[in-house]
Structure 1
Amino acid sequence: MKMKHDTIVTPLPSEELIKKHEKFWRLRLPEPFVNFVKLYNGIEVEEATFECNNRGYAIERFLCILDDIENNTKGIYDIDVVFSQIGERLTDNEDLVGAEVLPIASVFAGDFVCLDFRHNKENPSVCVWSHEESGEFEPITFKVADDFEEFLKFLD
């Protein structure tokens, strides 16, 4: 994966900020993802493609975790901002409080790479959420990798 290091969104998230978001989402982010976001918060990529469900995907950028989205020019790439825009399309549970499928990267053409906590709360898989096929409370996802570390290996 070829990353554009000058596009990292600052300030980088602190452990305290990450814990605050985990509490809001009611989940615990996997350590490999936390380590990644602490180094590469919201980074754009030049070459990061992968295959899934007989389709090719190209990551545009990873999403970020910010404390002050309103005063940051990259606030639109914050995980919470994206989650709030598509949240009802990421779950089939109308009564859900928190998150089950959490967007972590934008993919060319409007889809998102997500951490999928629905089957394993401790070690979420990685999936692609299809914006064209998903409806309100009818998410359509395709599993890409068993975990975040495996997903990163697909991008090398």
Structure 2
Amino acid sequence: MEFDPATILPAPPPEHLETLEDYYEVQLPEDYKRFVLSHNGAIPRARRFDAAGVERLIERFLPVLADAEDHPLGWLELEVVASQLDSRLTDDPDGETVTLIPIATLFAGDFLVVDYRASALEPTIGLWDHEQSEDFAPAVTTVAKTFSELLAMLH
């Protein structure tokens, strides 16, 4: 898998990933954490994948930044995007349980997400549809069983 080297941002401190996990009360997939540490915010050269018979395009993986406020790509930072999508990323009306973590932005406003709805220990990778998702009713289609499987699908 190749990435545009000019788009790879410095890795966040490993403890920042731990802080994210603590905040969202999830365990991020190990393959995704390794990716963030080596290809933070990268744009892949092979950016297309198929989901439910439709070809989709990754615009970029969301960066994980310790200080999003002062970064030019801060508006695309994982936590910033998650807070903007807020109640459309969970099916818990109390807002207590985070079930979807956005990890990549797609062409036309959709996102790839780590989906914890079926399993907190073995989350899948899903396509979050911005047009179909509503507050506490996210519309997600499973794309891959793992983050590594997603990367292998890109063409």
The answer, yes or no, to whether TM exceeds 0.5 is yes
CA RMSD of aligned residues (A): 1.3
Q: Is 1:79 aligned with 2:78?
A: yes
Structure 1: which amino acid aligns with 2:4?
Answer: K
| Aligned twin of 2:4 | 4
SS at match of 2:44: strand
Q: Does 1:134 align with 2:152?
A: no
* Runs of 4+ displaced beyond 4 Å: none
Deviation at 1:97, TM superposition (A): 2.5
SS of alignment partner, residue 55 of structure 2: strand
Q: TM-score, normalised by structure 1?
A: 0.94
Aligned to 1:120: 119
Conserved? CA contact 1:9–1:74, under 8 Å: no
- Are the counterparts in 2 of residues 2 and 48 from structure 1 also a CA contact under 8 Å? no
**AA paired with 2:122?**
N
- Match of 2:103? 104
Partner of 1:48: 47
Alignment of 1:21-36 (within 5 A): 21-36=20-35
Aligned-partner residue type, residue 82 of structure 2:
F
Deviation at 1:54, TM superposition (A): 1.9
2:89 is aligned with what amino acid? L
| Matched residue, 1:92 | 91
In terms of fraction of residues, the more strand-rich structure is 1
The question of whether the paired residues in 1 share the 8 Å contact of 2:42 and 2:60 is answered with yes
Who is 2:142 aligned against?
Answer: 143
- Separation of aligned partners in 2, 1:112 and 1:87: 13
- Any conservation in 2 of the 1:116–1:125 contact (CA below 8 Å)? yes
Partner residue in 2 for 1:63: 62
Deviation string, structure 1 residues 25-79 (Cα, Å, up to 9, x no partner): 1101011000000011111234311111121100010001111111111111210
* Secondary structure class of the residue paired with 1:45: coil
* Unpaired runs of at least 5, structure 2: none
Q: Which residue of 2 aligns with 1:153?
A: 152
Structure 2-normalised TM-score?
Answer: 0.95
Deviation of 1:2 (Å): 4.1
Aligned residues: 155
Once residues 69 and 124 of structure 2 are traced to their aligned partners in structure 1, the CA distance between those partners, rounded to angstroms, is 31
- In structure 2, give the amino acid aligned to 1:97: E
